[in-house]
């Protein structure tokens, strides 16, 4: 069968890698793709905002399943347009993608169905929000309602910071995303990423992961899309996973169905594990990046039949198998990221670095120009390793990085530190 993958990041390279190991996928296409994906798939430039051009491509190339990597095309309703034309897609409809597209929507769903999350209020007017700030306790969290590329959240430690954050939103810093805001309670605990593939009714739990959002070692510096991840997240004990399914994921699926907007695709819950148990920080309606890379490194069964079953509403018949060994991924980014950075530098040594069968290198911002791999983005490579422990996987990944010759790049040296500390305590 033909598969069309939409996206260009490390997440999409990992997905293309999973598809390429599957006999079912005769043709893999990716738009726009990157230098690594181009080794596994036919990369092409489609305008994904023009839904009919995607439909036409699928019809002309016998594409039976479209897999949407990033959130924007989902929130824009690409899945609705494909399904209306009889083309299967993995991912939620526009209405269901509100779980990521509108924080107020998700908060209201949590209230209606008793899903544990931070206490909150939604505001459409700055003056009312300013009044609220006079009496709330600090720190407090201010969020633009809509998609803001991960930049719409401010943790305000005092009244002045909170007032500034509210003003920024209503002054249009995030465009339409900030015309409505959520102000919520600051949660204390350890964060974890939880994933479930859903078919509107049932959910298949995937392994957990933990991301590292800050740019620099010691969890300092500006927020990024994620500088590294590992799976599983030790904080997600059997009990915490069970509670997350029972208290968060299943009530969400039931609530969405009852409200007439069943959710299909990957439900990615950003959790805070508090002293009261798991609480939902936010939903994403797609795989995490770089979390997807560590999940795929551990995946031992085929992903395509599961994605088809999600689209068809028949997930209850499916199983997934994962390697028991942990996986880690270290992001190599262009110096300057998440701010301004230079493009076009050459990366050497990738083949040598990937020789160990436990190492997978997933590309993000790269292109292949006449056989040379050039950096073209902020996050550029994901050096991914499996190991008996997180510490061992981490050592392999950093040893592979030593073989990569790319002076214009940087990476965090402490990815996995929480799990490594825990492993030290138990040995
Ligand atoms: P979000 O985009 O909603 O995931 O928020 C980005 C980051 O802000 C999260 O990964 C958390 O580290 C932090 N954050 C968001 N909401 C809260 C909250 N209510 N309490 C504490 N930290 C939060
Ligand atoms: N790594 C976090 C995300 O994909 O949203």
Closest listed ligand to the CA of 295: 2
Does any domain span residue 243? Answer: yes
Q: Which domain holds residue 270?
A: 190-317
Q: Which runs of consecutive H residues, i.e. helices, occur in 96-147?
A: 98-101, 103-113, 126-135
Same domain, yes or no: 312 and 337: no
Contacts of 399 (CB under 8 A, 6+ apart): none
With the most atoms of ligand 2 within 8 angstroms of its CB, the residue from 15, 69, 74, 150 to mutate is: 150
Q: Which helix (H) or strand (E) holds 191?
A: strand 190-199
Percent of the chain scoring above 90 in pLDDT: 83
Same domain, yes or no: 75 and 169: no
Closest listed ligand to the CA of 146: 1
Residue 265 reports pLDDT greater than 90: yes
How far does residue 106's CA lie from ligand 1's centre (Å)?
14
pLDDT confidence band for 81 (50 / 70 / 90) = very high
- Count of CA atoms in the C-beta half-sphere (13 A) of 373: 23
Q: What is the mean pLDDT of residues 268-278?
A: 97
Q: What is the domain count for the chain? A: 4
Q: Which two tokens stand for residue 173?
A: 């810093």
Does any domain span residue 114? Answer: no
**What is the pLDDT at residue 47?**
97
Q: Which of 145-149, 282-286, 300-304 has the lowest mean pLDDT?
A: 145-149
Same domain, yes or no: 304 and 379: no
**What is the pLDDT at residue 178?**
65
Q: Which atom of ligand 1 is nearest to the CA of 211?
A: 10
What CA–CA distances, in Å, run from 118 to 129, 246, 249, 281? 17, 18, 16, 7
How far does residue 158's CA lie from ligand 2's centre (Å)?
27
Q: What is the mean pLDDT of residues 380-394?
A: 98
Q: Kindly report the protein residue whose alpha carbon is nearest to atom 19 of ligand 1.
A: 186
Residue 329 reports pLDDT greater than 70: yes
Which of 317, 352, 381 is a domain's end point?
Answer: 317
pLDDT confidence band for 90 (50 / 70 / 90) = very high
Which of 45, 70, 91 is a domain's end point?
Answer: 91
Cβ of residue 281 lying under 6 Å from some atom of ligand 1: yes
**Mean pLDDT over the full length of the chain:** 95
Residues 397, 412: Cα–Cα separation, whole Å: 12
Residues 212, 220: Cα–Cα separation, whole Å: 10
Q: What is the mean pLDDT of residues 396-423?
A: 96
Same domain, yes or no: 331 and 410: yes
Work out the burial of residue 23: count CB atoms within 10 Å of its CB; fewer than 13 is exposed, 13-18 middle, 19 or more buried. exposed
Q: What is the domain-level CATH number for residue 245? A: 3.30.470.20
Residues 6, 139: Cα–Cα separation, whole Å: 38
Q: What is the mean pLDDT of residues 275-294?
A: 97
Residues 3, 89: Cα–Cα separation, whole Å: 10
Q: Kindly report the protein residue whose alpha carbon is nearest to atom 2 of ligand 2.
A: 288
Reduce the DSSP state of residue 51 to 3 states and report it. helix
Strands 63-68 and 2-7, by their bridges, are parallel
Cβ of residue 191 lying under 6 Å from some atom of ligand 1: yes
pLDDT digit string, tens, across residues 166-214: 988 888 777 776 678 889 999 999 999 999 999 999 999 999 999 999 9
Does any domain span residue 395? Answer: yes
280 or 422, which is more confident?
Answer: 280
Q: What is the mean pLDDT of residues 216-222?
A: 94
Q: What is the mean pLDDT of residues 363-380?
A: 96
Q: What is the domain-level CATH number for residue 366? A: 3.90.600.10
Closest listed ligand to the CA of 227: 2
Are the C-beta atoms of 385 and 400 separated by less than 8 Å? Answer: yes
Residue 66 reports pLDDT greater than 90: yes
Same domain, yes or no: 350 and 368: yes
Does any domain span residue 306? Answer: yes
Same domain, yes or no: 293 and 361: no
Residue 373 reports pLDDT greater than 70: yes
How far does residue 129's CA lie from ligand 1's centre (Å)?
19
Q: Which runs of consecutive H residues, i.e. helices, occur in 119-237?
A: 126-135, 159-170
Q: Which atom of ligand 2 is nearest to the CA of 291?
A: 1
pLDDT digit string, tens, across residues 121-139: 888 888 888 889 998 999 9
**For the whole model, what pTM was predicted?**
0.95
**What is the pLDDT at residue 289?**
97
With the most atoms of ligand 2 within 8 angstroms of its CB, the residue from 268, 296, 378, 379 to mutate is: 268
Q: What is the domain-level CATH number for residue 7? A: 3.40.50.20
Which residues have C-beta atoms less than 6 Å from ligand 2?
Answer: 211, 225-226, 284, 288-289, 291
Residue 150 reports pLDDT greater than 80: no
pLDDT digit string, tens, across residues 289-315: 999 999 999 999 999 999 999 999 999
Of 59, 65, 56, give the one whose Cα is nearest residue 6. 65
Q: Which runs of consecutive H residues, i.e. helices, occur in 6-77?
A: 10-20, 51-60, 71-75
Cβ of residue 153 lying under 6 Å from some atom of ligand 1: yes
**What is the pLDDT at residue 23?**
82
Contacts of 97 (CB under 8 A, 6+ apart): 71, 74, 75, 77, 79, 91, 285
Does any domain span residue 102? Answer: no
Same domain, yes or no: 8 and 73: yes
**What is the pLDDT at residue 294?**
98
Q: Kindly report the protein residue whose alpha carbon is nearest to atom 5 of ligand 2.
A: 288
**What is the pLDDT at residue 121?**
87
How far does residue 278's CA lie from ligand 1's centre (Å)?
14
Closest listed ligand to the CA of 285: 2
Same domain, yes or no: 203 and 278: yes
Same domain, yes or no: 79 and 175: no
Does any domain span residue 105? Answer: no
Torsion over CA: 89, 362, 323, 414 (sign): negative
Which of 41, 73, 91 is a domain's end point?
Answer: 91
Same domain, yes or no: 361 and 306: no
Does any domain span residue 113? Answer: no
Does any domain span residue 412? Answer: yes
Same domain, yes or no: 345 and 304: no
Radius of gyration of the chain (CA): 21
């Amino acid at each position: 069968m033909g598969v069309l993958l939409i996206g260009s990041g490390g997440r999409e390279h990992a997905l293309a890698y999973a598809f390429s190991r599957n006999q079912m996928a005769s043709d893999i296409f990716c738009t726009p793709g990157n230098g690594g994906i181009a080794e596994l798939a036919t990369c092409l430039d489609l305008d994904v905002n023009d839904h009919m051009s995607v439909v036409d491509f699928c019809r002309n190339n016998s594409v039976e399943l479209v897999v949407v990597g990033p959130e924007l095309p989902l929130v824009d309703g690409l899945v609705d347009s494909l399904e209306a034309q009889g083309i299967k897609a993995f991912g939620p409809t526009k209405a269901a993608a509100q779980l990521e597209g509108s924080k107020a929507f998700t908060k209201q769903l949590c209230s209606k169905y008793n899903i544990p999350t931070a206490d909150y209020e939604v505001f459409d007017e700055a003056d009312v929000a300013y009044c609220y700030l006079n009496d709330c306790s600090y720190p407090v969290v201010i969020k633009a309602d809509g998609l803001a590329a991960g930049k719409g959240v401010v943790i305000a430690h005092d009244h002045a910071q909170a007032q500034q954050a509210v003003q920024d939103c209503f002054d249009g810093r995030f465009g339409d995303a900030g015309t409505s805001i959520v102000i919520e309670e600051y949660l204390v605990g350890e964060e974890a990423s939880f994933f479930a593939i859903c078919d509107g009714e049932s959910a298949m739990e995937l392994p957990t992961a933990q991301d590292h959002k800050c740019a620099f070692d010691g969890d300092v510096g500006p927020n990024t899309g994620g500088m590294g991840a590992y799976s599983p997240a030790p904080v997600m004990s059997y009990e915490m996973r069970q509670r997350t399914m029972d208290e968060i994921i299943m009530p969400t699926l039931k609530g969405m169905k009852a409200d007439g907007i069943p959710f299909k695709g990957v439900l990615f819950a950003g959790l805070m594990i508090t002293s009261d148990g798991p609480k939902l920080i936010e939903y994403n309606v797609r795989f995490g990046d770089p979390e997807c890379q560590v999940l795929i490194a551990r995946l031992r069964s085929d992903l395509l039949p599961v994605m088809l079953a999600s689209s068809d509403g028949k997930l209850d018949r499916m199983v997934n198998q994962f390697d028991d060994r942990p996986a880690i991924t270290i992001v190599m980014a262009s110096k300057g990221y998440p701010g301004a950075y230079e493009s076009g530098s050459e990366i050497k040594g990738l083949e040598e670095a990937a020789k160990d069968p436990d190492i997978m290198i997933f590309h993000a911002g790269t292109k292949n120009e006449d056989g040379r791999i050039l950096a073209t983005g902020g996050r550029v490579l994901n050096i991914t390793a499996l190991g008996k422990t997180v510490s061992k996987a981490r050592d392999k990944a950093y040893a592979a990085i030593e073989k990569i010759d790319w002076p214009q790049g940087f990476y965090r040296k402490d990815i996995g530190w929480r799990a490594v500390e825990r492993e030290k305590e138990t040995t």
